Structure formats: structure tokens, C-alpha cells
Amino acid sequence: MRGISFDVAHMLAGSLVLVSFMQLYQDRLYALLNLFALHALVLATSVAWQAFIQDAPHLYLTAMIALVFKAIVIPVALHRIIVRLGIHREIETVVGVGPAMLLGMGLVALSMVVMLRVTADADPLAREDLAFALSVVLLGLLMMVTRRNAVSQVIGFMSLENGLVLAATGAKGMPLVVEISVAFSVLIAFIVIGIFLFRIRERFDTVDVGALDRFRGERR
Amino acid sequence: MIIDALTGVLLIPALAACLLATLPGYRLTSRLNVLATFLTFATAVSLFVVEPRSGPYLLVDDLNKVFIVLTTFVSFTTSVFSASYIGHEIEIGRLKPTYVRFYHAMYQVLMFGMNLALVANNIGLMWVAIELATLTTVLMVGIYRTHEALEAAWKYFILGSVGIALALFGTILIYMAARPVIGEGLEAMVWTVLVTHAAKFDPALLNVAFVFLLLGYGTKVGLAPLHAWLPDAHAEGPTPISAVLSGLLLNVALYALLRFKMLLALNPAAIAPGPLMVTMGLISCVFAAFMLYRRRDIKRMFAYSSIEHMGIIVFAFGMGGPLANFAGLLHMTMHSLTKSAIFFAVGHIAQVKGTQKIADMGGLTVTNPVLGWGLVLGVVAIAGLPPLGIFMSEFLVVSSTFARQPVLVIILVFGILVALGGLFLRLNSIVFGEPRGPTAPAKASYVPMFAHLAIVFMAGIYMPPALVTGFQNVARLLG
């Protein structure tokens, strides 16, 4: 199984990390959103490829969920929210592009070192997948930390979830329960977040989370 | 599927949630809510009489029986408190009647999520259940729709999701470790199967998995430095939810952590999970103790006190051994009962005073003697003064670990003493002195509060031998 199937899986997982990196330096919301759709598309392809090489038909379902919800429904909905809130011009990064990229590289190196070392006995495909998945998770976290805008934090969170799906599908034969739950949780997360975005807008006239900090519960 | 007590603790809340979501009217639904939680509690108690068989999805053993009974009991008393609390909130118009239906349905969904997490025999199912419980509480924290409530809910949601995501990664790693030994498929995620094969798992994978699980579920336990969501969520949500969060949801996350700790302990080559837990426990305890001094909001203050106590509990379980585990288990039970009793008092006090600011409170023992003295009793209990139950359990934690790690225990005792000072400083200005601020006669249900305090008082003086043997069995199980 080492030949082409391994190479393709490797390439797809690697592209996911690459797209995560591209998300890090986007300062416009539209571009970020389009990249997230691409992220989900790469994920769906990767999951479908895993379904093919592992001969696990239930994974096609997971791939479909990723494709329909994450690559189409959620980006379209967020797009509309952005238009409705009139924030499509907003630019925000807390940390500059350079430091963010350097931090990202550090995180990827860290996850490679950690995962490749501890999974020395596992089969090569699962190892690589797990290492890439952890990189995507950490990059998603980094994105949530370096952004102030509620919409981009949500996108960061969802790309983090994509990393988890990659890990779950890479672990051969993992029961379906988990994949459905991951998709389900993203769905619920989206609904909750959607409601909150509207509410935040209603109350504060901005989706800049920084505005929330003024309303600390401890004022006298 | 056969309906036994095990499926009962899941079915009753699930059915009640559907029913409460459709029924209008506050009076009827709050009573139904109490009835449903009482039935769940009764079913949970019956687990001790007839033990149902565990299957591939659901599990019952000595460990989770204790947690289930505690959870269902506190949720029952909280629903009694909630009935009078929510009634007042509707009267003053803080909560719209439409939200009340939602509130009661969510309360039952939360019960379902917590019970499912406790009885799940599958690490994936357990994760789903904890996620469900988290999302429900997020929605409930934001229910008042004020600035503060939304900020708290947003923060809780983001931090909670990140924690839960890390926990899922850890869960996947556990599966990866189990797969070569047990084989592919469902079996490799079942607790009872995992435990029997744990010694043969790859230790390196287990180590990494535990770090993720500790960070993930540790966020939900509220361990410092991952605790940032906890004070906000406690302060801004409805008080019954603060009581449930502190008294129950933190325990459920802790339960998940303990299960994984048991798994790691069975593998001799893996790292000992104890020291990691001890470190986080100590940091939480000391940090939260100092944070108690600068609090201006009464619910926030008791939220920090919860972090402190969770720190003590995690410390005790981290030290391990039958005696320290026994102490940790006892402390967890006592803390759940006492802290929810305190929140029952605080909820009514905030309603009487119309504010949560400590500066606007004073002389409560004069204006509302029952509430004021109730709070005094609660704080005396939570601060760990004899002869109440928390003194017993803290004494046991300290005495059982002192011989092994004297330096660590001194740090712990320092934290407890600092917290004691902070609590009494604030308590003094809340309940004694000249009455300050507006006040109204309390229309409260005192029964849940004093019932909890009575149990805590009893436990400090006399523990039934059956309970002691039960706890000892669990402590031995925890290793």
C-alpha cells in the first residue's frame, strides 16, 4: 500500500496544513472565508481518499458532510452575515504577519517532533496523518488567539475541527460514532455562534470582541 | 432494548425535555421539572438495589454510581430552588416567559448530557455527552441577554470548545494506542475492554494522549491556568445554573479525567499521571485563594472558591492511594453539596438586594435573618471549619498525604488558609454591620439550602458505615 495511495494521502494532508498557513496571514474577511471553504474542500477530498484506500464506505459520508456543510453551507451563511453586518472591509490582526508565520512554523515543527517520535511503531500513513492533524489543530488555535474579530475566531475554531476530523479518519477503523458527532458538533457550534454573532451585533454595534472586554462583570 | 434503571436515568430527562419544550405556563413546567428530576434521582438510587448489566455502550460500576447519585440528588434540590428563583425573575421581568420554556427544556437536556457522560462505556460517547452538556450550559449562561451575560457565554463557548477539541484529540490518540492490541472497530473504544488490555498499549502514545486529555477536560474542571471561563459563566448566568455548574458539571469533567487516569495507571511503562494532576491542583488552589480577596461580585467570589476546591480535589486524586482517593471523593461530595447550598442562598440574596455587588450588601443577618445565617453557615462550611463535613475531608486530604509529600501539603494548607481569610473578610461585610442598600422581604424556598447544609453537618460528625465502605471500595478501584 506504500505506492501512490500513500503519496496522495500525504499530499492532501500536507495541503491542509498549507491552507491553514494561508489563513494565518489573511487580513480580509472575504479572503479568509474563501480559504476556509478551500480548507474544507481539501479535507473532504482527503477523507474521501482515506475512505477509498481503507475500503471504509462510511467515511464517504463523513466526506460528504464536510463538503456540504463546511465547504458550502457555512461559508455561504457566514458570507451573508458579513454582508449584513457591513464588516467586509474590516482588517484585523493582533500579531503582525511575520511573527504569526514564525509562530506557526514553530508549532508545526513541534507537532512533527512530538507525533513522529511517539508513534514510531504505528503504520506510516497514520503517523503522518496524525502529525499533520496536530499541526492543523495548533494552527487553528493560533488563529483564534491572533484574531479579535468574532467571525475570524469562528473560522479559526472550524479549521481546528477540520484537523480533528483528519485525525479521526487517519486512525484506521475508528467507529462512525465519532465522525458523526464531530460533524454534528460543528453544526451545533455554527448555530450557537450564528445566534451569538447576531446578538453581539445587536448589543454592541460591532463584532470586535475587544468591545466585549469593556463590559467586565466587576465594574463598581 | 430492555428498560432498566440504567436507561431510566437517561430516558426520564430526555422525555422530560421534549415534554417541557412543548408545555406553556411557568407554574406547571417548574413543577414538572421538579418531578422529573425527582424521578431520575429515585431511579439512580435504585442502582444500588438492583445493579443492571453493563453493555458495550452503557456501564455501571461502583465509581460511577456515586457520581450518578450525587448528580441526580443535587439536580433535584436545585430544581426545587429553581422553581422559586425563576418565579421571582419572571415577576420582576428579568426573564421573559418565552425563555422559561426553553430554560426548563435545557435543564433536562443538561441532566441527560451529564448522566450520559457518567454511564457511557465508550470514550467517544462520553466525549459527545460532555460536549452536549457544555453547549447546553453555554445557552443557559447567555439566557439573560445582557452585555455581561453575552460576554460570559461567548468566552465560555470559545474556551469550552477549545478544551473539548483537545479532549477529542486525546480520545483519538487513546484509540490509536488501543487499536494494535484490541483490533479495529468499536471494541477499541469501550472502557471495560480498554481497562483489561491497558498494560499492552504503546506507552508513548498514552502519555501524549493524557496530556491532551488533561488540558481538554482540565479546562472543563476549571483548573488554573485554564479557568478563565469559569468566574464569568458563574456570575452572569441564572443562579440555579451556577449551582449546577459548580456542584455537578465540574465533577463530570473530573470523572472523565479519573477514568483516563485509571487507564494510565494500569500501564507500568507510561508516565505516572499523578504528578501532573498534583501540580495543576496546587496551582489552582493557591491562585484561586489569592483571587478571592479582590472580588466585588458575590457570585464571582464563590466561583473562585469552586476553583480552589477543585484544585484540592484534583490534588487528592493526583496523590492517589486508597486513603487520599477516599479523601478526594469525600471532599468532592461535600463541596458539591455545600457550594450548591451557598448558591441557593446567594441567589435569593441577590434577588432581595437587587444586585450582586458586595459593596451594596450589608447587615443581612438583621434584614433577612434566615438567608443571612444560612449564608454564614454555608461559608463556615466551605472554609473548612470544624465540625462540618469539609473540615473532615480537608483534614483527611492533608493527613493522608503529609507523610508522603510534606512540602506539597504545606503549600496546600497555605492555600486553604489564605482562602479562609478571603472568604471571612467578604462574609463580614455582607452579613454583618449596618444594613446597606435596598432590601425586600425574601420569598424563598429554604428547604434545599438547609437540607444540603444538614447533610454536610451530619457528615462532619457521623458517617454511616455503609457509606464509608462504599467510598472505600471506590477509592480502591481508583488505585
The pLDDT assigned to A114 comes to 87
Q: Give the tens place of pLDDT for each residue, B6-57.
A: 888 899 999 999 999 888 878 888 899 999 999 999 999 988 888 788 888 8
Provide the sign of the torsion angle of the four alpha carbons B232, B236, B237, B238, taken in this order.
Answer: positive
> Does A217 contact B161 at a Cβ distance shorter than 8 Å?
no
d(CA B145, CA B150): 6
| B165 interface with A at CB cutoff 8 Å | yes
Helix (H, G, I), strand (E, B) or coil at A173: coil
Provide the sign of the torsion angle of the four alpha carbons B130, B14, B76, B324, taken in this order.
Answer: negative
> Does A196 contact B205 at a Cβ distance shorter than 8 Å?
no
> Does B162 contact A160 at a Cβ distance shorter than 8 Å?
yes
The band of B333, judged by pLDDT with boundaries at 50, 70 and 90, is: very high
Write out the three cell numbers for B433: 454591620
From residue A11, give the alpha-carbon distance in Å to each of A4, A15, A161. Answer: 10, 6, 20
The pLDDT assigned to B377 comes to 93
Average pLDDT, chain B: 89
Helix (H, G, I), strand (E, B) or coil at B435: coil
The band of A151, judged by pLDDT with boundaries at 50, 70 and 90, is: confident
The pLDDT assigned to B334 comes to 94
| B140 interface with A at CB cutoff 8 Å | no
Helices (H) and strands (E) in chain B, counts: 20, 0
From residue A195, give the alpha-carbon distance in Å to each of A188, B6, B27, B153, B176. Answer: 11, 35, 28, 12, 36
Chain A CB contacts of B216 below 8 Å: none
> Does B158 contact A144 at a Cβ distance shorter than 8 Å?
yes
The pLDDT assigned to B77 comes to 95
Residues 6+ apart with CB under 8 A from A49: A5, A8, A9, A12
Q: Is B232 in contact with B298 (CB distance < 8 Å)?
A: no
Please give the ipTM for the structure prediction.
0.86
Nearest to A173 among B127, B166, B184 (CB): B184
Chain B CB contacts of A188 below 8 Å: 135
* Res. B146: pLDDT tops 90: no
Among A205-209, B74-78, B321-325, the minimum mean pLDDT is found in: A205-209
Q: For residues B430, B433, B434 and B436, what is the CA-based torsion angle, rounded to 10 degrees? A: -10
The number of CA neighbours under 13 Å toward the Cβ of B424 is: 10
Distance (Å) from the C-alpha of residue B289 to the closest C-alpha of chain A?
18
The band of B296, judged by pLDDT with boundaries at 50, 70 and 90, is: confident
Chain B CB contacts of A179 below 8 Å: none
Total residue length of chain B: 479
Nearest to A175 among B153, B186, B207 (CB): B186
Chain B CB contacts of A182 below 8 Å: 168
> Does B205 contact A119 at a Cβ distance shorter than 8 Å?
yes
Of B177, B183, B185, the closest CA to residue B202 belongs to: B177
A166 vs A42, more confident? A42
The pLDDT assigned to B132 comes to 86
Q: Give the tens place of pLDDT for each residue, A80-108.
A: 777 777 776 666 667 788 888 999 999 99
| B127 interface with A at CB cutoff 8 Å | yes
Closest chain A residue to B182, measured at CA? A173
The position carrying cell 496522495 is A8
For the segment A23-29, the average pLDDT, to the nearest whole number, is 84
Write out the three cell numbers for B171: 480520545
d(CA B375, CA B424): 11
Q: Give the tens place of pLDDT for each residue, B218-236.
A: 999 999 888 889 999 999 8
The pLDDT assigned to A218 comes to 47
Among A46-60, A194-208, B206-220, B342-356, the minimum mean pLDDT is found in: A194-208
d(CA B333, CA B358): 28
B257 vs B165, more confident? B257
* Res. A217: pLDDT tops 80: no
Average pLDDT, chain A: 78
Distance (Å) from the C-alpha of residue A97 to the closest C-alpha of chain B?
23
The pLDDT assigned to B448 comes to 92
Q: For residues B57, B59, B64 and B67, what is the CA-based torsion angle, rounded to 10 degrees? A: 50
Total residue length of chain A: 220
Q: Is A178 in contact with B123 (CB distance < 8 Å)?
A: no
Nearest to A199 among B124, B135, B145 (CB): B145
pTM: 0.91
d(CA A135, CA B359): 48
* Test the A interface: residue of B109, B179, B194, B295 with most A CBs within 10 Å: B179
Helix (H, G, I), strand (E, B) or coil at A142: helix
For the segment B223-251, the average pLDDT, to the nearest whole number, is 91
d(CA B67, CA B255): 8
The band of A219, judged by pLDDT with boundaries at 50, 70 and 90, is: very low
Prior bond of B225 cis (ω within 30°): yes
